[in-house]
Amino acid sequence: MRLPEPATSTAPVGRADGVIVHVPIRQAAAAGAIGGLVVGAVLGVLLGALVAWLAGAVIDWQRDLAFTLGVARRLLPFGDQVALLRNVDQYWFIVIPGVAILLALVAAAFGALLGALVAAVYNRSRRRVAVDIRLHSEEW
């Protein structure tokens, strides 16, 4: 079966008014998850880069402070975490995407929950959203 060609003219022939009475919860949750995934990935990259940079800055600060004061590094702040900070600084190319993926998944879960909640609340309310539909001269 072949579908007819779409209308070539975009001039509206008629206008119809209506209301949205139901929002599908699954599609609202999917839209919220996609939005949360994107925002979480961007914020995760920024947070991961900040964590990797701070690890390197703390290591440099400890080295300078230990040299200046002549104190053992383990007695300085973050002295017990030197190995962890070095690993974060050395493997920044794994830390940044890892933090981004983790934060993106958490934000996607919150976005899906929020989208489903908004759709469910809208479906239970008596308020409706007015829509304006323009009909074209030829329909499919």
Total domains present in the chain: 1
- Which is nearest to 81 in space by CA: 117, 105, 55? 55
Which pair of structure tokens corresponds to residue 140? 């499919």
φ and ψ of 139, to 5 deg: -105, 160
Tens digits of pLDDT across the chain (140 residues): 566 665 555 555 677 778 888 889 999 999 999 999 999 999 999 999 999 999 999 888 888 887 787 777 667 777 788 889 899 999 999 999 999 999 999 999 999 999 999 999 988 888 777 778 777 755 55
Q: Is residue 87 part of a domain?
A: yes
Q: Is residue 100 part of a domain?
A: yes
Which pair of structure tokens corresponds to residue 4? 């007819």
Q: Exposed/middle/buried for 100, CB within 10 Å: 0-12, 13-18, 19+?
A: buried
Q: Is residue 38 part of a domain?
A: yes
Q: Is residue 99 part of a domain?
A: yes
Regarding pTM above 0.75, the answer is no
Q: Is residue 58 part of a domain?
A: yes
Where in the sequence is the domain holding 46, given as residue range(s)? 30-121
Q: Is residue 113 part of a domain?
A: yes
φ and ψ of 126, to 5 deg: -90, -10
Q: Is residue 17 part of a domain?
A: no
Q: Is residue 51 part of a domain?
A: yes
